[in-house]
Chains A and B, each alone.
Chain A
Amino acid sequence: MKYFLVKKHLGEIFLLVLIIFLAGALRIWQIDKNPPALFIDEVSNGYNAYSLLKTGKDEYGNFLPLTIRAFGDYNPALSAYLLIPSIAVFGLNELAVRLPSALLGTLTVAAVFFLALKVFQSRKAAFLSSFFLAISPWHLQFSRYDHEANFMLSFSVIGITLLLYSVKKKSLLILSALSFGLCLNSYHASKVWVPLIVLAIAIIYHKELLKNKKYLLISLVIIVISALPFMINIQNSLIRAQSVGIINSKESPLPLFLNGYLSHFAPNFLFIEGDLIGRHSVSGMGQLYVFELPLILLGIIQILKTKNKSQEMKFILAWLILAPIPAALATPTPHALRSLNLVPVFAMLSAFGLNSIIEFKIPSLFKKVAILALGFVAFYNIATYFHLYYKHEPTLKAADWRYGYKQMVEFVNQVKKDGQTVAITNYFGQPYIYVLFYTKFDPKLYQELGNKDKIGNIEFFGASWQKPNDQKAILVRPAWQIPNDPKINIMKKIYGPGQSDELFFVITEE
């Protein structure tokens, strides 16, 4: 740290600030429009945070809950609490819901700089690491919307960074433990991840840790206390594990685990196809850039080749090996979200690989050609990524993001007369939460109603809906449910974003 306080190194401070600024810009720019719509989980998280802000209770009326029930997935509640400040400032909208994730993502980029500095003992590699993370498609994907996994990543990277620095400055250990505690309370996968990585740390750094027993004890107490929220609700905390875990699958769990684990290192997943779930990757791209393939390979080989590896390097290898385990314990695999902890390792490995190319003692012409070729591929990769992300993704993935709900709810809210019945299809899943969110429905009132099938005059239906009386009602259905009847008055059709001809909702009056 002291290094940066010397005036001489102003240029490097500037460079770091520039990288962090770039990371922030890439994460915040157009965040409300792209991804094109708030996904169900984001809306649910946002509304729960709103409800907590206004009433101190979640949507089910639980006072200051430790887990958020949402749709029965019982996430650790931190994901909702983190949204409260930004919702208080910006109101209940896309920006407010996604901003915490973007900010924590930016913070992760900064943390990785210090982490890499400690691991590689090279400023060049550290700058490259944070730069690679700043532009990483995998990290950008999940920093640009509200998901607990990104919180897990941030807290675990910050915790690990503080821990590595605590060897020199002992009091940092407590901050590190706090960060791990927050991490434990951010996402389901972290219940597997935190114990694993803490165990790895304990094995690799046992000598250093045992040197200051006082701080170690305090840290352990902090971690145990932060494990309490899910230990108390262990029954609920395991629900998600039971629905996606490999143990409840019909196939035998061991090969399933091994295949799932290895699939996270499949080059096709990493560099060509990416996660097959629409929201998890940019279609036509892998989770990483193709040009990173040789760099990562080189980075790994360089680390393995190093004789008398430093503890930090051993730790990076352990991190790489452990990171896919939470994802491998569940299906489907490979899963970019549950294995999100891999991202900083890959960024650091790429950086280390590039750094070692620069430092190789090979003929300079050879080197120049190699770097030039790599630079060209890299430029093409990065340009294509941003083109695909901003130009194609909003249209292509509109359905994956549940596009249309916002437009539909806002339209219905505008045209419906007082007392008029509205019936909305639940064909696209959980419409009630969108109605609550976009009408900014009073949480207190909703907690009293507590009905997911009917909110005020708005009803939700499955296959078909029967009109209760003769009055005209507004109906919202997917296009294929509209009967071929000229008498029906079509009020509006909701299409995908931009010029898309993908039809989501048809609003009629009958």
Chain B
Amino acid sequence: MKIILLLILIPLILFSESSNMPVCNTQTALQALPPRIFQQTTIDGIGQNTYVTRFFHNKLGILGSEFGRCYLNFFDPVQVAKNTLYFGLIPWLFLSYKILTLKKWKFVIPILIFPVLTFFNIAFPVGYFHKFFAIIGLVLMAKVKIFPKNILPLIILLAIFLRFFKLAYVPVSLYWDEVSLGYNAYSILKTGQDEHGKFMPFTNFAAFGDYKPPLYIYATVPSVAAFGLNEFAVRFPSALFGVLTVYLTFQLARKLTENRIIALIAALFLAISPWHLQFSRGAFEGNLGLFFSTLGIYLFTQIQKNKWLLIPSLLSFIAAMYTFTGQRLFVPFILLVLFIQFRKDLIKNLKTTILAIAIFSIFFWPLYQFATQTIEGRLRFDEVTIFKDLDPINESVRYRQKDGLTYLSDIIHNRRFFYLHEYLIHYFDAFNPSFLFSHGDVNPRLSIQGTGELYYIDLPLILAGIYFLFKLKAKYRFLIIGWLLISPLGPATARETPHALRMIHILPTFQIIAAFGAYHLYKLIKYKKIFIFVVSSCLLLNFATYIHIYYSHWPTTYSGFWQYGYKQLVAAIKPHYQQSDSIVVSNYLGRAYVYFLFYMPIEPKDYHETKDLFRDNFAFIHVNGFGKFHFIESADSTKISGVTTFAMPPGSSPAGAQIINSVKDPTGKVIFEISQLSK
């Protein structure tokens, strides 16, 4: 266990970016000398004994202090922390403390001499000194059994680090939904109304006409209040609840497997899972929904201890359904599994059960009304579901016609069978190994491409885990396997499968199963050290590849999928806002308006008063403009008067307009041309 952690932490420290120290050598010290002496003697020299002046302002003293400045720079805690990814500071201090208290003078002297090298222009990688120092400290900490006692805080710290590090910069920019969530939260904060002026929506936020569930937006309100309207604030709830989910996984796995070590491994696996990291690092409602459904399941498993926990458990499931649409087709199924698993306890406390279900129904009712009885609520489901496809019907008709429309053929080639067939194809997609292990979701917003949703090493561990779950007759195997199998039932109704986001509630079953497998394999195998070494180095290799692609390649390669450029566009237009009478922006990348609302930022009240929007046939809401802004498809359709600033795709600025600026994507391709025209 600690070896795995070490193997993850050490490269993290070693390959983190080195930060540079200020240049400091004999030359800079000598340069600093004359001005200091001059400055000090000019004030001093008047009416004072020369020896006194020399005593206080001798060259030796000043050189000494300049030398001290360089020397102590080396031990600047900010530098040490930057070079060791902040958490490395703790082992760094630990090692220093140990060396000093154990009186290892033979180490102290070289360490104290190192900084002198920098002083004499001897090239010396200072950053690496700190890195190695921290790593040795880390190994020492592991050896003196400081962290095996309680490894959970370390896992949580790792989870925090992986979820919050550069949160505002990777993913590279905010995509539509994130901005929309953020601006709706801002609007709620300022006016109590959503972007369309509806007061405190309960079942849905209309947003783009996609009728977003409300809870993520309400969760973002305090974050926007605290951090302002920016990337960090919008993503903060997701990252925070992602960390909490890791903790919850530990608790849940401990309950389900009745083994603390397996629980720790499961939490670690979730902390570094690409699937979970992907959605914890963006404002994805699904991730908050996952937290609530996991909390619901965890609380449900506790009802043996305290029957009243059933109520918060069901409320948590309600919260999940108010957070993410995908949960609405998961909660009923998982409740069924849970009811079967805990049937005895539920029947024993029948009154509590009935009360809890009553409360559940009260809160569920408005959502049920909205989702099934209104056009808006049904629209999105109808849009994505396979059951509105006509192909299976046509297919069925074709087969039956070939068979001559016999009675038997009506049964065999019944359209329902065709739909079932279609549905099963989509269901099995969820367990497609290529999706799980090698490629991940095809949508570059939902996975980084190039690594799977799980690590390769998870494959044998998961298989082993399933084997051991049944072989050892684990107490809660029905719940774990049931959870795994019912998770794709909902997402399989949609056309796009496998879909990592809609199926996010399958987490953390894979991690718990893999942890179960890993633990029992370890118990079984004779060469334990070799096993640990092989597993952890495979995991490490996988993890390193993932982290590298995530931070170095993915942001630039797929910036378009994150609507990169809108923020830069708003920044480029902002200086011209005051002087322009109108600002015309091409809508060719879609939904430009919300970025202007978000990044300007526009007061929600002003927006409510001046917005100009229309609904299309699919109930999507398009914004034509507000205030000075106009969003259009092509440049010709505008009537110009006064000073107009244009933001157009390259090459399509209106004739006669003067191009003043351009916005490029990370690869250098121009996405917007900004021009000005006055009449």
Contact = CB atoms under 8 A, between A and B. Distances in A.
A252 interface: yes
A383 B97 contact: no
Given A247-B227, A305-B101, A392-B43, A268 B89 contact: no
Interface stretch (A10-18, A141-149, A255-263, A400-408): A255-263
Interface string A237-270: 0000000000110001111001100110111100
Given A267-B72, A284-B65, A262 B44 contact: no
A272 interface: yes
A266 B228 contact: no
Contact of B78 (A247, A259, A383, A396): A259
B600 interface: no
Contacts of B61: 380, 384
A254 B164 contact: yes
A253 B232 contact: yes
A101 to B, nearest CB: 26
B81 A304 contact: no
A268 B65 CA distance: 10
A259 B76 CA distance: 11
A301 B226 contact: no
Given A247-B228, A301-B101, A272 B72 contact: yes
A290 to B, nearest CB: 7
Interface in B11-56: 36, 39-40, 43-44, 46, 56
Classify the interface of chain B: helix, strand, loop or mixed.
helix
A495 interface: no
Contact of B232 (A252, A272, A273, A392): A252
Contacts of A255: 86
B23 to A, nearest CB: 15
A69 B350 CA distance: 63
A159 B56 CA distance: 40
Interface string A295-309: 001000100110000
A392 B69 contact: no
Question: Which 4 pairs between the two chains have the least Cβ-Cβ distance?
Answer: A267-B72, A262-B77, A262-B78, A266-B76
Contacts of B232: 252-253
B72 A268 contact: yes
A247 B226 CA distance: 8
A472 interface: no
Interface in B636-663: none
Contacts of A284: 36, 40, 65
Interface in B51-102: 56, 61, 65, 68-69, 72-73, 75-78, 81-82, 86, 89, 97, 100-101
A259 B82 CA distance: 8
B67 to A, nearest CB: 10
Contact of A301 (B39, B97, B228): B97
Contact of A268 (B40, B43, B46, B73): B73
Given A258-B81, A262-B78, A384-B56, A392 B168 contact: no
Nearest to B36: A284
Interface string A390-413: 011001100000000000000000
A387 interface: yes
Nearest to A273: B69
A391 to B, nearest CB: 6
Interface in B155-209: 164, 166-169
A258 B40 contact: no
A378 to B, nearest CB: 14
A499 interface: yes
Contacts of A301: 97, 100-101
A271 interface: yes
B227 A253 contact: yes
21 contacts: A247-B228, A248-B228, A252-B167, A253-B232, A254-B164, A258-B86, A259-B78, A267-B75, A267-B76, A271-B72, A284-B40, A284-B65, A301-B97, A304-B101, A383-B56, A384-B61, A391-B43, A395-B43, A396-B43, A498-B43, A499-B43
A259 B232 CA distance: 18
Contacts of B169: 252
Interface string A487-509: 00000000000110000000000
Contacts of B75: 267
A271 B76 CA distance: 12
Contact of A259 (B46, B65, B81, B164): B81
Interface in A313-341: none
Contacts of B228: 247-248
Question: Chain A, interface size: which category?
Answer: 20 to 34
Contacts of B89: 262
Nearest to A270: B72
B231 to A, nearest CB: 9
Contacts of B65: 272, 284, 290
Contact of A252 (B40, B77, B86, B168): B168
B326 to A, nearest CB: 30
Contacts of B97: 301, 304
Interface string A120-147: 0000000000000000000000000000
B308 to A, nearest CB: 29
A254 B240 CA distance: 14
B164 A271 contact: no
Interface string B611-647: 0000000000000000000000000000000000000
A499 B75 CA distance: 40
A297 B46 CA distance: 40
A465 B486 CA distance: 80
A295 to B, nearest CB: 14
B78 A391 contact: no
Contact of A499 (B40, B46, B226): B46
Nearest to B67: A272
A272 B46 contact: no
Contacts of B39: 396
A247 B81 CA distance: 21
A380 B61 CA distance: 10
A254 B82 CA distance: 12
Contacts of A265: 77
Given A262-B78, A272-B72, A301-B97, 8 more contacts: A252-B166, A253-B227, A253-B232, A284-B40, A297-B100, A304-B97, A384-B56, A396-B39
B56 A387 contact: yes
Contacts of A254: 164
Given A259-B82, A262-B81, A290 B68 contact: yes
A165 B75 CA distance: 38
Interface in A202-261: 247-248, 252-255, 258-259
B91 to A, nearest CB: 15
Contacts of B68: 271-272, 290
Nearest to A272: B69
B82 to A, nearest CB: 7
Contacts of A268: 69, 72-73, 76
A187 B100 CA distance: 39
Contacts of B167: 252
A266 B100 contact: no
Contacts of B82: 259
B100 A263 contact: no
Contacts of A383: 56
A392 B40 contact: yes
Interface in B488-526: none
Nearest to A250: B230
Contacts of B76: 266-268
Contacts of A252: 166-169, 232
Contacts of A304: 97, 101
Nearest to B62: A284
A391 B101 CA distance: 42
A209 to B, nearest CB: 27
Contact of B44 (A259, A297, A305, A392): A392
B618 to A, nearest CB: 38
A267 B80 CA distance: 12
Nearest to A293: B72
Contacts of B46: 499
A390 to B, nearest CB: 11
